[in-house]
Structure 1
Amino acid sequence: MERGISGAFVLVLLVTACLTWGSGAERCQTISSNLCKNLGYNSTTMRNFLDQDGQMNADLGLQMYEHLLTNKCSKYIRLFICSIFVPMCSEHVPGPIQACKGLCNKVKDDCEETLIHLGILWPAELNCTNFPEPPALCMQQPPEENEQSPTHFFNPDEIPFTLNCPANSIANDGKCVPLCTSRQYLDPEEGAIFEIWVAVWSIICLVFTLFGLITFIIQPKRFRWPARPILYLTACGFVTCTIYLIRWIEGPYTCAGNLAYEKPAESLSCVGISLILLFCDIAYTLWWTVFCFVWFLSAMKEWSTEAIERISSRLHAVVWIFSAIPMFYVLMSNHITINHLSGFCEVTNKVLVFFQLFFMVLSSILAVLTSVALKNVRKTLLIAGRSPLKLERLFYRLLVISIGISVPYFMYLMCQLYNTFTIALTKLVLRKTSIIFATLWVYSPKTFDMWRDLICVYKRSSSESTDQNKNIFTSLLPKVFKNAEDSSTKSSNNTLINNNKSIIDEKKTIFDIFFASTSHNVPVSRV
């Protein structure tokens, strides 16, 4: 019931987040500079060809050429200068449209004499050799005979709109669309290596997480609190590995067939996948913090399993709500970009990275405090003359899993601040390694005994007829699990019952369950 409510809550949040996704900021924007209005086009895009990232900076640059614009040495001077600072933008063309080399030469020829008279040299940044020539798409001055008015120098409709797309793109719906295999996105060799990397690690991760989840489902009573958060860590890892495996089978989420998306808003599925991965990442971090927290309560504060279970619903609410909030933050701040190397739409927000790093540091502090408490319990057991073997076994089990989960995941979060091919491969390995270590909690002699009995029952039943097979399987299967549970209960009871058996029904802490010894006549005090 608890898992069903959590799953439904997550599903509602994801659907709501996907439906609220908008198209994002438009690539083209209206020209704000008064010097460049009424030129026949009214939309521009930034950065411009001088690498200025805003119209305010472009306007400051235009003022340096005001003497040229007001001189009117050429009827095309405004068109040419403005095409550099506020280039034409069209939704049908992937980038800004630059002035042609012919337009540059025309303006230079018209104004050169005037500039010499004023003692001004032609600006180096306006070198005409840097401008393209047809058939490349660019702005050329209208033919002399077609000029209508001195105030209307350029009309984009008068340009023969023939797309001459680069080699790495093709014309589609009136615009040049890059190919998924374009070298401008990734090197083919790097892409092949990354695909192999995704396939291998996704399959390995999926096998481990699937085995862990099936074991949890078959014997849920074996994994009570404070070990229960491992189930949710495994579930988050399972979803992540499944998405990566589907991406390897179906191809990048950033492509539609052979065409690459330019903006995340062009694909709702790509945005939805990025939100699911973000949700799983945040939930994974928070559940790991909860795991360290409940073990801290059990070891340091001596909380019983029942006491921790009573606050489990609150822990669920905190984790799932705080995992969903970043999705809405990302949607509102428009921090989703396309990563053509990984084939995913990815969240690029350092605030969320530092948010996760904070909880990883907090969980590490709780883990250290828990280890100190366990050492104190060990000293107490030794003083009382009891064997600390079970305690030491649990301590090393927690130590291996804690290091295996936290260290790779902490390094993965640090790698989020960089974006290179090597870092991309490293992130993939670190992420999957942390998930695999989270599943190791289920690997115990009881787990292997359970699977061995289950396989033996199946082999025994397969030798008989179909009807008898069904009857035997249904009758023996519950006995297998009942025997496993009875043996677990029996071993726990043997460690809990004292000599006079007068307190058998007393509520025990997690240490009474794990660490009680055969010497029941020696009291144990907490340090």
Structure 2
Amino acid sequence: MDSSDSCQLSRCYKYTCEYVGTNYAMKSGVNFYLQVKSKCLPVLQRFNFEWPAALDCSRLPTPGGDGLCMEYPNITSPTSSIPPPREKPQQGGSHMMPTPPPRASQETKCPHRQTWVATKEGGVCTPKCGQDVLFRHADKHFAEVWLLVWAALCFLSTLFTVLTFWLEPSRFRYPERTIICLSLCYLLYCLAYLARLIVPAEVLSCETTPNGVSHLTVEGLHSSGCIITFILQYYFGMASGIWWVVLTFTWFLSAGKKWSSEALQAYASYFHAAAWGLPAICTILILTLKQVDGDELVGLCYVGNVNKWAHMGFVIAPLASLLVLGTFFIILGFIALFRIRKAIKTEADGTQVNTDSSSPRSSTTYHMASNINKLEKLMVRIGVFSVLYTVPAVCVIACNVYEYLNRQRWAIMASVAALECSAGVHRIKPQQYPSSFRSSASE
């Protein structure tokens, strides 16, 4: 920041004067503090920080005649100290192009354990690979083991489901067939986390600058490992959400509207087009906008690790919309099933009244009771399956919202902590559990 030099020098003015044991008033010192406050206060207010009480100008001593504690520096404004950019004439024209600032001057602005990376919007400070900036090494190890265990369990269960379908595909008809597509999405989704068993995080989420510094990927289009892990997570993660909506929609049509499997099968091409096409469009759009970044905690690439608006637009909003839409169809389906159950019970009770109590139950009454029992079992199975999907989905969205609200604050705290010798990641200590649980709940 332009006010960083003035802020550091103002601290020297304040505390050095106290150490030498003088109480001399400084007119130039008061003016200096006012100059520092005019530069630094707007920057602090951008991050919801107030001006430190210890540097309150009203508490400074009044001007005296015993001289200054320190020599007042000749500080000029940043705009006047920086020479205007040199311009070069373009060949074949009279337009002038400004010369970009040297890379070394940009790198010096980054905190410890971070490096400057040029982006389409100028540049950003990103963590170096192997360094603990936001998370400790123990946090990363815990997240790696936690995610590998859940990824292995998810992979085995979904593989069993897919193999069962391949052995006897005619057994699965709509709406049950959508569960196979849902399982296939999670099967491929888990491969991104299982890749960490054989490929280190430096290969999957890091890049190297021209001067040889390895850093977390920013706008990752150059690393094939980064792109592959991003596609496995994002594309199949979003496809699974759409297949969940298709499952609830077809179940509502089957249970509530009495659609047959053949009628649902006629619309299968539309279901596949929506479930596979919409995530593909979003994935291509993210790659085109260069919004793929490395994640320090899990060692994989995803969208929204740097740009919070990309996180909201491509992750949180779609996941929340799909969850709300699927839950809506579930509620409609249950309402329809309860109405059917009530109608069957009413008809069964009327049949029972017309039948002599001393005679055995008629076949019609027995058949109605059997239908009610089957309907109740179906409602229980659908209810359990809905809970098993909805609860983790809500947790995933909650964890994403938590990161959306706090990631920028974590980055600011990491930059501030890097200025102090004794500070570091232990001073920041963001919770790694929401990030780890978000990934594991997605599996």
Query: Does the TM-score normalized on the shorter chain lie above 0.5?
Result: yes
Partner AA of 1:395 in structure 2: M
Rounded to whole Å, the distance in 2 between the matches of 1:78 and 1:310 is 69
3-state DSSP of counterpart to 2:107: coil
1:378/1:391 contact within 8 Å kept: yes
Query: Which deviations, in whole Å up to 9, do the C-alpha atoms of 1:18-68 show, x marking residues without a partner?
Result: xxxxxxxxxxxxxxxxxxxxxxxxxxxxxxx97999xxxxxxxxxxxxxxx
The residue identity in structure 2 corresponding to 1:255 is: C
- Distance in 2 between residues matched to 1:314 and 1:373, nearest whole Å: 24
Name the counterpart of 1:309.
265
Residues 248-297 of structure 1: per-residue CA shift (max 9 Å, x gap): 43122113699434422442330232133211121111110000101111
**1:346 is aligned to 2:302:** yes
For 1:167 and 1:325, the matched residues in 2 are separated by: 36
Quote the offset at 1:202 in angstroms. Answer: 1.1
Q: Residues 234-258 of structure 1: CA distance to partner in whole angstroms, max 9, x if unpaired?
A: 0110011121111243122113699
Quick one: distance in 1 between partners of 2:113 and 2:270? 57
Name the structure 2 match of 1:334: 290
Moved over 6 A (4+): 49-53, 76-80, 165-169
- With over 3 angstroms needed to count, the CA separation of the structure-2 counterparts of 1:167 and 1:318, relative to structure 1, is closer
- 2:401 alignment partner, SS class: coil
Which range moves more in the overlay, 199-208 or 382-391? Answer: 382-391
Residue 301 to residue 95, structure 1, CA distance change in 2 (3 Å): same
1:396 aligns with 2:358: no
Give 1:276's aligned residue.
232
What SS class does the counterpart of residue 337 from structure 1 fall into?
A: strand
Cα drift, residue 78 of structure 1: 7.6
Residues in 2 aligned to 1:268 and 1:231: alpha-carbon distance in whole angstroms: 29
In structure 2, the residue matched to 1:363 is 326
**Quick check: 1:223 aligned with 2:172?**
yes
SS at match of 2:135: coil
Maintained 8 Å contact 1:270/1:344: yes
Alpha-carbon distance in structure 2 between the residues aligned to 1:362 and 1:167? 43
**One of 184, 189, 192 as aligned partner of 1:243:** 192
In 2, Cα distance between equivalents of 1:244 and 1:89: 40
* Secondary structure of 1:416's aligned partner: helix
Residue 422 of structure 1 corresponds to 433
Aligned-CA RMSD value: 3.6
C-alpha displacement at 1:180, in angstroms? Answer: 2.8
CA distance in 1, matches of 2:197, 2:276: 28
Conservation of the 8 A alpha-carbon contact between 1:195 and 1:248: no
Match of 1:372 among 335, 342, 355: 335
Percent identity, aligned pairs only?
26
Match of 2:146 in 1: 197
How many angstroms apart in 1 are the aligned matches of 2:41 and 2:194?
Answer: 40
Label 1:95 to 1:183 Cα distance change in 2 as closer, same or farther (>3 A): farther
Letter in 2 for 1:394: L
Correspondent of 1:260 among 203, 212, 215: 215
Tell me by how many angstroms 1:229 deviates: 0.8
Q: CA–CA distance in 1 between the matches of 2:113 and 2:247?
A: 53
Greater gyration radius: 1
The answer for the alignment partner of 2:245 in structure 1 is 289
User: TM-score normalised to the size of structure 1?
Assistant: 0.50
Q: Secondary structure at the match of 2:302?
A: strand
Q: Which amino acid in 2 is paired with 1:235?
A: L
Distance 1:224 1:200 in 2: 32
- SS at 1:378 equivalent: helix
Question: 2:391 aligns to what?
Answer: 407
- Offset at 1:80? 8.2
Q: 1:78 to 1:343 in 2, by over 3 A?
A: closer
Higher RCO (C-alpha under 8 Å, 6+ residues apart): 2
AA matched with 1:82: I
Q: CA contact under 8 A between 2:206 and 2:217: conserved in structure 1?
A: no
Give distance in 2, aligned partners of 1:245 and 1:417: 25
Pair 1:79–1:364, CA change in 2 (3 A): closer
- In structure 1, how many angstroms separate the alpha carbons of the residues matched to 2:205 and 2:42? 28
Q: Give the Cα separation in 1 of the matches to 2:396 and 2:127.
A: 30
8 Å contact 2:128–2:214 — kept in the other structure? yes
**1:216 touches 1:223 (CA, 8 Å); kept in 2?**
yes
What residue ranges of structure 1 are gaps of 5+ in the alignment? 1-48, 54-72, 99-136, 138-164, 170-175, 433-527
Matches within 5 A, 1:509-520: none
The aligned residue for residue 64 of structure 2 is none
Q: Work out the CA distance in 2 between the residues paired with 1:213 and 1:94.
A: 55
Residue 82 of structure 2 corresponds to which residue in structure 1?
82
